[in-house]
Structure 1
Amino acid sequence: MTLKALSNVVSRLDNSCATLVKDIVATSWVGRDGLFVSAFVRLLGNLVSAHANYMGLVTKMLVRNLSFLPTSTGNLPGYVFVDRNTIYDRVHYALQYIIALVPTAASSTLFPLLVAEFPHKSERKLEHTCYLANMLRVVEYVPALRHKVLSVITDRVIKIDIEIQVDLEELEDDEGEELEAELKGALKEKEKKDVGANDDEEEEEEEVEDDGNKTDEDSDEEEDKDTVKAIRETVDKLDCMLDLLFKYYSQFLPDGTEKDPNSCSSTAVNTFEMIHNTFNTTILPTYRSRYTQFLLFWAAQKAPRFSDHFCVSMVEKALDNISPVGTRQAATAYIASYVARAKLMPAKDVRAVVRILCRWLSEFVDVRSVDCNGPDVRKFRPFYCVVQAIMYIFCFRWRELREEVEDEWGVVETSWTAGLDVMQKVITSRFNPLKVCSPAVVDMFAKIANHLQFVFCYTIIEQNKRKGRGREDDMLDSYFPFDPFLLKKSKRWIDECYVEWKPVPGLEDEEEEDSDSNADEDEDETEADELDSGDEGSETS
């Protein structure tokens, strides 16, 4: 009766009744019966229609109810218990109702509040995943906000992504190495289970309460344990958030069942373009992220045209003389890592990218050799980045870089793809890239190239060693953004489209024959691991 009476006089609830309106909006309504909820939502709609100044107050209340709510919210005295899913259904119903009445409020009021109420990066996993899921649900009925909302989500996810790397670097060496090993799956199964928080919401609530009752010890060891635990929880949080994003985007991208892989719906094309735009504005400039970029890696392989578009854009940035050096270096790292790791990328496209890069290298050496007095990464950084990219791609995709050619007599011979032979000229040039490129990449490339009789690098490498490899500042790092994806839950989206490191047939036997000691063999295995993991100890900014 009260709600009905208020609805009849809603036009009189002006600024003079602001206190009353605030009390009405603050009513515990989501846990009541259906009739009350319907009447209350209609009252909210009448209120914002009659008085636009109350839109912010009403919207803020609704947005705050999109966060992780305690069980008590739906357990009001005298009413049947209402679970969280039903509560969220009611909140979305109310939001959709008032946005339909005042469409302009979507951008002017709703979006800023969605951003403002996003959980702080220090909040628990459930706070983030619950709010993120509800944000994704909002864009279903407010499609005008889709791009902006997803850009905000990606920005928040990548901040958490970077935080993990920063925290790992701040740990003591022993603890940092142990946690890195755990993230790579090198610890016992029992230890690995501790990485993720329990998925059951109620159990996590109990864990939080229990943790609050523990007595803190003021020892460095206890602080380190707390830090490691916090990193594990952050990793689990990032994992679950990325999984939600993969799941959301999967609704709109091709699923591989299309008869014509190049035929994509407008929705799929628009979705990929949105992911790609967000990548360019948010992810590409963030050079230290580990996992967020895999959204683009996965989406690009959903259709050949998507993969082509991404490769072309990265090659253009990498070879653009006008672009900042940092942008060119990042783009080169992305094209190298993508071509090396994208399992669904056709062999002809792998060869096409390598040919373009090799052609640019050949022209660069011909034109700029007169300006080169020796290896200088500061002066020729983009050049060295491209050389390292080709070496990295070669280590992973040498099989695809071999082509069968039939001569005029019908004899089929195997040869390296056209243009790749420029690497001999590049390596022996006065630029001397083997001296400044990442040692992990150079050493593995030298072994594989020598074994396959492609090019021979050891003479130059030995000469460089005798002269000294130089300072770290004078060398490229080996950051490759699509290094192995180690998150447990969201990894399922990546497994089917990812190239894992494969030993070169016969190379291990050859190394064993030439090895003088077990120590040498261990060193070789370490180099392969560094190549596969991107030499994570190097500077990545």
Structure 2
Amino acid sequence: MPKFSTFDPQTMSTTMLTMNKNPPDSKVGEFLIPSMQAPRRSLTTRSSEMNYVAVLTETRATRSANEGFRLLLASAKHVVSGVKPHDVISPVTLLTELAKVTSLLDGYNEILVDELFKCNILALEDAILTCYLKLLVEMARSNSFYHGEVCRLLLRALTTIESEDAPEEKISQIHGSFQTMIKELPRFSESLLKQISRNLPFMTKSWQSQVHFYRSMLELVDYVPEEVSLEVLSRLIHKIIDLDCQCPKEEMVSEDDETQFSMETAEDHAVKEMKHSLGNTFDRLMEVFFEYIDRHVIDVDDLKRTYRKFLTVFDKFILSTYKCLHIQFLLLYICSKRPVITDHFIDFLWHKVQNPNTPVVFRQIAVYYLGSLLCRCSFIGVGTLKDSLLLMTRFLHSYVAQSSSAQSLTVDLSKHGTFYSVCQSVFYCIAFRHKEIIEGDDGLGYLQRLNLEQIVTSPLNPLKVISPAVGIHFANVTRHYQVVYCYAIFERNQRSALPMANPGNQKLDVYFPFDPYVLLRSKRFVEPIYREYVDHLKSSVDEDPEQNNNSSSDSDGEDDEDEEMVSTSLKSAAEKMFAYSVSPGFAH
């Protein structure tokens, strides 16, 4: 436009005369005085004619913002903030056009990208969200540098849902973008796994955000490649184990004491909140995992794939975590779906116990899992129990025979830890399910053929090392059926006990992983397949004391005296183990 450097009256007169002859909207008037020009075309109209390639190429080359780039940047801020300033490019147009030129979004143009990455995805309108996700996919296609940022942006959106109801349609669109990138971009999965680990919500975040995130990640597990699927599940389980370890049963039971022991239905559990904050979050996450398993049990092949994934995670993380309390019930729940799964899990555990190449601590934990599984699962019949006990007692007899031929046998937990752990599991199973064994075909004969007396009276003296609670219950059962008499051994162990520098090393660790489940909401999945402990011997005494007296009189009077000689301290230790929330879970 011409500019006047000096004031010229003659020129001004000519100008005014020209304006009088021509309307203000004519071409002549447009190029004379700016204040009297025709209305300027809006930036929005000009944006429809913008050459995005030229603008971005010039900006990248000159490393400076031209007028077109400033318009693009202002329009991007409108997409992020949702506040529309005067005259910007519409979000749909902007995102659609940028998706066509993603190869130019580097160098100085990254300022525009950084602005777009500040967007709250779930706050976008549906039409804008569709275009925005297409832009992210195109950016990932054009440059692998953006894989991590795109993953972070999408995962962050899933962790910001604070309401109980999730925007399902928008989440579905996010999963659609993930599926497209995973299918088309081979290296995208690597960035996805890294970002999942970094964006897992911290345990103190609201249960709503954690539930929605875990549910979305389990949905992702179903469509990613097999090896990636296992890695995603591993990261989720590994994170939730931390939460499990932060929720001791004693704390949760004490806070929910008013409702924990009341008679409630499954519907009551579904609406009840744990008073323990972390416990409530963990309870809801366990519910998410149980629901996921339920969706994969209709088809046998799908169930087997799911079982293999969870078994791999169990072997890698759960089995090696000291005293998990609840997360292992996911395996128990999967086993309840098909007998073949149960048999495989039992074989898996027993193989670990027998394998001499497995570290001793893992052999011990594996047999704890085996014993607890056999006792607590209502879907495991007495036939499977008897077969398992036969395998374990044969192992014990073989161990005693081999050890006695190699060296003099003495009580030594550090050397014979696996032997004592198998003993404790065998005694636990017999004390827990003796009634079913005896009522079966040739039940008493079966107990006698186990030759338990040879194990109990061996120089390794397992009753001195195992849990007092398990030992006393086992002694009551075997004395009742006149299979083994243990009280004389208890008393001898008490008399021979000597002060030691570190007496804790001479007692076996007590851990039965499937002890009572105390989470209120997710308990509805466990209750139908769970067996509670019942003291059948105490019940029989209450119902028919005369029969009990006759049974007792048949045994030697010397044994009665030995039973009464068991020290008060030993009984006190056993009573502590009977508590609801403490192993081995003989709950009264």
User: TM-score surpassing 0.5?
Assistant: yes
- Name the CA shift for 1:252/1:25 in 2 (closer, same or farther; >3 Å): same
**Native 8 Å contact 2:515 2:583 kept in 1:** no
What is the letter of the counterpart of residue 435 of structure 2? R
Cα 1:183–1:472 shift into 2, 3 Å: farther
The answer (yes or no) to whether the contact 2:515–2:584 under 8 Å persists in 1 is: no
Note the 1:280-429 alignment, pairs <5 A. Answer: 280-370=315-405, 371-402=407-438, 414-417=443-446, 420-429=449-458
Deviation readout 1:204-223 (Å, 9 max, x if unpaired): xxxxxxxxxxxxxxxxxxxx
CA distance, structure 1, for counterparts of residue 540 and residue 574 of structure 2: 14
Distance 1:297 1:469, change over 3 A: farther
Alpha-carbon contact 1:314-1:332 (below 8 Å) kept: yes
* Equivalent position of 1:483 in the other structure: 515
From 458, 461, 465, give the equivalent of 2:490.
461
Tell me by how many angstroms 1:535 deviates. 4.2
Letter in 2 for 1:253: V
Q: Structure 1 residue 9 and structure 2 residue 101: aligned?
A: yes
Rate the CA distance shift 1:20–1:414 in 2: closer, same or farther, 3 A. Answer: closer
Aligned partners of 1:427 and 1:433 also within 8 Å: yes
| Cα 1:117/1:468, change in 2 over 3 Å | same
Counterpart for residue 65 of structure 1: 157
Query: What residue number does 2:312 align with?
Result: 277
Deviations 1:416-448 (A, max 9, x none): 427753211111122211111111110111112
Which of 33, 36, 52 aligns to 2:125? It is: 33
2:242 is the counterpart of 1:159: yes
Name which of 286, 310, 321 aligns with 1:242: 286
* 8 Å Cα contact 2:161-2:212 kept in structure 1: no
Deviation readout 1:231-276 (Å, 9 max, x if unpaired): x11111111111111110121125xxxxxxxxx7222111111111
Per-residue CA distance 1:397-427 (angstroms, 9 max, x = gap): 213333755xxxxxxx553427753211111
> 1:136 — aligned with what?
218
Mapping 1:163-178, distance limit 5 Å: 163-165=246-248
CA distance in 1, matches of 2:377, 2:270: 31
Aligned letter for 1:312?
D
Is residue 402–residue 415 contact of structure 1 (8 Å, CA) maintained in 2? yes
Conserved? CA contact 1:350–1:400, under 8 Å: no
Distance in 2 (alpha carbons) for counterparts of 1:479 and 1:187: 22
- The aligned residue for residue 113 of structure 1 is 195
Aligned pair 1:432/2:461, yes or no? yes
The residue that corresponds to 2:175 in the other structure is 92
Distance in 1 (CA, whole Å) between partners of 2:359 and 2:443 is 40
**What whole-Å deviation, never above 9, does each CA across 1:437-469 have from its counterpart, x for those lacking one?**
111110111112212222211111122222238
**CA pair 159-121 structure 1, distance change in 2 beyond 3 A:** same
Change (3 A) 1:51 1:316: closer
Give the superposition deviation at 1:286. 0.8
Q: Which amino acid aligns with 1:383?
A: F
Partner of 2:535 in structure 1? 503
How many angstroms does 1:157 deviate by?
Answer: 0.9
Give the direction of change, closer, same or farther, for the CA distance of 1:446–1:299 in structure 2 (3 Å limit).
same
CA separation in 2, counterparts of 1:439 and 1:469? 17
Amino acid at match of 1:486: V
**Contact 1:253 1:272 (C-alpha < 8 Å) held by counterparts:** no
State the shift of 1:346 in Å. Answer: 2.1
- Whole-Å separation in 2 of the counterparts to 1:433 and 1:58: 59
- The answer for the alignment partner of 1:251 in structure 2 is 295
Judging changes above 3 Å, is the alpha-carbon distance between structure 1 residues 321 and 507 closer, same or farther for their aligned structure 2 residues? farther
CA shift digits 1:193-212 (9 cap, x unpaired)? xxx99989xxxxxxxxxxxx
* SS of equivalent to 2:371: helix
Distance 1:416 1:528 in 2: 31
Change (3 A) 1:143 1:537: same
TM-score in terms of structure 2 length: 0.71
Deviation of the 1:16 alpha carbon: 3.4
Residue segments in structure 1 that go unaligned for 5+ positions in a row:
72-81, 169-176, 190-195, 201-227, 255-263, 406-412
For the pair shown, which has the larger CA radius of gyration, 1 or 2?
2
1:77 equivalent in structure 2? none
Tell whether the 8 Å contact from 2:468 to 2:573 is kept in structure 1 after alignment.
no
What is the DSSP-based 3-state SS (H/G/I as helix, E as strand, rest coil) of the residue aligned with 2:246? helix
Measured on the aligned residues, the alpha-carbon RMSD in Å equals 3.5
After alignment, is 35-44 or 309-318 more displaced?
Answer: 35-44
1-structure distance, mates of 2:258, 2:344: 34
Q: 1:339 to 1:198 in 2, by over 3 A?
A: closer
Identity %: 25
Alpha carbons 2:287, 2:521 under 8 Å: kept? yes
Deviations 1:113-135 (A, max 9, x none): 11110012333322321211121
SS of the aligned residue for 1:376 comes to coil
Secondary structure, aligned partner of 1:501 = coil
Would the aligned equivalents of 2:271 and 2:521 in 1 still touch at CA under 8 Å?
A: no
Residues 479 and 534, structure 1, Cα contact 8 Å, conserved in 2: no
Structure 2, unaligned stretches of length 5 or more? Answer: 1-92, 263-268, 553-559
Contact map agreement 2:447 2:483 (CA 8 A) in 1: no
2:377 touches 2:531 (CA, 8 Å); kept in 1? yes
Residue 318 of structure 1 contacts residue 332 of structure 1 at CA under 8 Å; is this kept in 2?
A: yes
Distance 1:64 1:433 in 2: 54
Shift of 1:94: 3.3
What's the counterpart of residue 75 of structure 1?
none
Using the TM superposition, give the Cα deviation of residue 363 of structure 1 relative to its aligned residue in structure 2, in angstroms: 1.4
CA separation in 2, counterparts of 1:450 and 1:339?
Answer: 22
Change over 3 Å in CA distance of 1:2–1:184 after alignment to 2: same
Asked if the contact 1:106/1:142 (under 8 Å) is kept, the reply is no
> Aligned in 2, Cα 1:450/1:99: closer, same or farther, shift over 3 Å?
same
CA gap 1:249/1:122 in 2 versus in 1, 3 angstroms? same
CA distance in 1, matches of 2:303, 2:260: 40
- Aligned residues between the structures: 464
Question: Is contact 1:355–1:419 with CA below 8 Å preserved after alignment?
Answer: no
CA distance in 1 between counterparts of 2:167 and 2:309 reads: 31
Shift of 1:20: 1.0
- For the Cα contact (< 8 Å) 2:475–2:486, is it kept in 1? yes
Structure 1 Cα separation of the partners of residues 181 and 579 of structure 2: 52
Distance of 1:96 and 1:494 partners within structure 2: 34
Query: Quick one: which amino acid aligns to residue 392 of structure 1?
Result: Y
Matched, 1:530 2:577: yes
Q: 1:442 aligns with which of 441, 447, 471?
A: 471
Distance verdict in 2 for CA 1:394–1:533, change over 3 Å: farther
